[in-house]
Structure 1
């Protein structure tokens, strides 16, 4: 296949996509990477105990597994609000966070709206069904009407929301505060966060259920989930939402790696595998707080060590995404350097395969060509010069570097997916800039238009994409090939 042929969007089984979102969500929330799976089992048991059938059990499990799938979309807001989006949210749901001021409480509401819209959109794109989608769009509602995003309350909230909320609190609080205290807190929240009768039912069986969680349980999936396929790029796009300036970057790395592999003469299977690995290479970023990625200037030694864990967490995803173990393992080499100065394994020389060298080089070149909070994007010539300099110092393979630069110079735009939605050129310009985190004023200044005109374009984009938040619009635009 020629190097400039269109890139086919690789797909993945729905069940593997769900596992990937559960893994990313647990990392984002500072939870152990089995939290969502343990919560899913508890929620399923509670759904059955409260009179549900197999369909209700499956819906409860699915909502629990996807509950945190919107966490990347509001990470920037929580990092600004709490100082650490990962630790802050971990403390919030472990009920160890300091009391929030009234102003801080008000700031949480729009963040919850972002989360619910994105997670609901993910469920729709995964084809999870109306019950699961509705549960995720209302996942932070409360029985007393004091929840988010709609302050619905009572029977207006799907039962699965309450089942998953109780299951999650039982799982988290029993580990943080002990089982007795967890049961006391769940009982106390009955009648406010969730129905009192449901809390009582859960607490009556909780001891047995929590003990059963420690017994091995094979992952369950329906035949439908195993057969249905969704684009792997959806996982990449959601992971990239964590940092506004990352929007679409995993797609760029995937395409750069594939194009470079083709120029180097790698066979098409190897090139396609590199494309999938490129889509996965950034998912470990969810484990680390946004302020580390946003920091300008020299990092402290401890901060550098924390960032070195990013590819480790990507590697750990290999255990979560069963049919993509090889790709996830390859993806975890995206930060390695030929001289051994990379992360997380510090491999060097012959220990790095050609595919691993290609991925690391592609990731480095895309990063140089992309803006960061502390610098503008380098143009093609400057990026090529910097990358060649690093190759001269032994950090990258010179042959791979030249192939990556050549591929970037000769690449043609990816053929956009056909979509029912169309944006005007100006609407696309505005969306592209807000997807990178620019404010209305910054967009207006860059495009030489007024802030009110920017606002009008944003409203039009939201209306066309049926979204109400920037994160959801960014995700949907990438999914539809509009960006």
Structure 2
């Protein structure tokens, strides 16, 4: 797809998967709900303009869901994210069902579980109302930033209202609630209960909830046939095809607005992350001309910076806010967040170039990064630039386990990573200059992420020195010398002295 002819639905369908991750729901749950909602709107005979509101209001129904993850982790415990699917399907007027939620509070908190119960009881209805209001407000605000129109923004603000007036945040009732909101609720619950127990579970839930939680008029036109093909069709393509006319298009220069809105969405996940993605985007945008990137390349790496951390939504906030050392299980989740970011974005043809960079933002030149352990030759300049900007920006912000570093101290840390062969020297210079930092006159990064010591060893290997001779010359043990040699061979992808010598010559490593 040409970058000047983008259908807005395509990136938004891709990005809706982030909402599924944040809500701990199956992937494409939002897209499936959107399809069912459009079918309901058609059965109700809504005009195309209202169907379009239904489409976006359902697809992006949980746009405000990261607004309160910090508060939820604080109140409900380290496994607060697991409460979300349960809460989404629980009728608040059903005391027995609500009790099931209370039983989950504090799980995973060990001896602190009672503390979480106390926090929930202390917060009471006021605390709950504040959380619900925040979700609605943020969803509505982000819809406006996406230029989806006041109708979609209003529908998202009313997401948690109920037909009987017992919902939040305004206690609206009946037809005071936007029709798009009422349809989105029925469609979402239909998909949820289909996953849980099939058509019978849907009919049981609707029988109990119509006239209370759900609009009985919308429930009346629901038929299980609206769901029966969702496991056999390509729901992604069908959702794109189902967008009502006139379909929204976004100019290439407005794609930044979409990317920026989702940067705000994911950075809301924790106060420690506020402004991180937009800060990285500002740095790469200012640094790109210094690396002679053309306008298209500059736009792609800037959008990648906005979107690089979407995969954080898949990781519980309690992990990002852990003040002690991350456990092995925590690290496994953290190491996968670039993968999640890439897979989300790669669903959209328009965002494929962005996805390719996003998946590499934690890789390092020497192969020590994650999740792929890619090496220098596999990392394009855009990925190298993004990696440096991400490191610098993160260091200048506080994290649960450390305070923020000064800009000068963050710059020193980046330079140390360059010297160690992990970050690119040219990209580091560009980012640090964009950040207003002084950069030494000589700043280079070696090919394949080799450190300066490894370059020394490679020169000796290329000249035919044995491990014992290398050890004596560098004053290290023979075992250490052997380790260096094997590590270098792995980095540069060779297995013989002659190939190592050719690599060194091709990359000018015999020149001081």
Instruction: Please tell me the TM-score bracket, short chain as reference.
Output: 0.7 to 0.9
Q: Per-residue deviation at 1:104?
A: 5.3
1:150 paired residue number = 170
Greater C-alpha radius of gyration? 2
Larger mean CA deviation between 342-351 and 136-145 belongs to 342-351
Distance 1:405 1:109, change over 3 A: same
Distance 1:128 1:384, change over 3 A: closer
Once residues 13 and 79 of structure 1 are traced to their aligned partners in structure 2, the CA distance between those partners, rounded to angstroms, is 36
Distance 1:241 1:197, change over 3 A: same
1:138 aligns with 2:152: no
Once residues 332 and 376 of structure 1 are traced to their aligned partners in structure 2, the CA distance between those partners, rounded to angstroms, is 27
Once residues 128 and 258 of structure 1 are traced to their aligned partners in structure 2, the CA distance between those partners, rounded to angstroms, is 26
2:361 paired residue number = 334
Match of 1:118 among 138, 155, 158: 138
2:203 paired residue number = 183
Q: Deviations over 1:386-430 (max 9, x none)?
A: 22222333322234323322332269xxxxxxxxxxxxxxxxxxx
Contact 2:86 2:101 in 1 (8 A): no
Q: Per-residue deviation at 1:341?
A: 2.1
Contact 1:63 1:164 in 2 (8 A): yes
Q: Deviations over 1:29-78 (max 9, x none)?
A: 01223111110111111122234233332222211011111112222122
Q: Per-residue deviation at 1:130?
A: 3.6
Match of 1:168 among 169, 188, 192: 188
RMSD over aligned Cα atoms: 2.5
2:441 paired residue number = none
Contact 2:41 2:54 in 1 (8 A): yes
Contact 2:15 2:344 in 1 (8 A): no
2:301 paired residue number = 274
Q: Per-residue deviation at 1:14?
A: 3.6
Q: Deviations over 1:169-207 (max 9, x none)?
A: 1101211233312321122111210133432432xx12x
Larger mean CA deviation between 394-403 and 95-104 belongs to 95-104
2:399 paired residue number = 372
Match of 1:48 among 35, 42, 46: 42
1:409 aligns with 2:436: yes
Q: Deviations over 1:121-147 (max 9, x none)?
A: 222333333432221111110011111
Contact 1:253 1:278 in 2 (8 A): yes
Distance 1:402 1:11, change over 3 A: farther
Contact 2:15 2:345 in 1 (8 A): no
Contact 1:21 1:65 in 2 (8 A): no
Once residues 227 and 255 of structure 1 are traced to their aligned partners in structure 2, the CA distance between those partners, rounded to angstroms, is 22
1:69 paired residue number = 63
Q: How does 1:312-331 map to 2 (within 5 A)?
A: 312-331=339-358
Match of 2:316 among 289, 296, 301: 289
Distance 1:12 1:104, change over 3 A: farther
1:348 paired residue number = 375
Q: Deviations over 1:148-187 (max 9, x none)?
A: 1111122221222221111101101211233312321122
Match of 1:300 among 327, 340, 345: 327
Distance 1:276 1:197, change over 3 A: closer
1:210 paired residue number = 227
Partner SS for 1:70: coil
Once residues 43 and 325 of structure 1 are traced to their aligned partners in structure 2, the CA distance between those partners, rounded to angstroms, is 28
1:22 paired residue number = 16
Distance 1:343 1:303, change over 3 A: same
Q: How does 1:4-15 map to 2 (within 5 A)?
A: 14-15=8-9
Distance 1:391 1:126, change over 3 A: closer
Q: Per-residue deviation at 1:223?
A: 4.6
1:7 paired residue number = none
Q: Per-residue deviation at 1:347?
A: 0.8
Runs of 5+ unmatched residues, structure 1: 1-9, 412-483
Contact 1:187 1:196 in 2 (8 A): no
TM, length-normalised to structure 1: 0.76
Runs of 5+ unmatched residues, structure 2: 91-96, 103-119, 439-512
Larger mean CA deviation between 380-389 and 11-20 belongs to 11-20
Count of residue correspondences: 399
TM, length-normalised to structure 2: 0.72
Once residues 13 and 386 of structure 1 are traced to their aligned partners in structure 2, the CA distance between those partners, rounded to angstroms, is 42
Once residues 155 and 389 of structure 1 are traced to their aligned partners in structure 2, the CA distance between those partners, rounded to angstroms, is 62
1:78 aligns with 2:72: yes
Contact 1:318 1:326 in 2 (8 A): no
Match of 1:33 among 12, 27, 51: 27
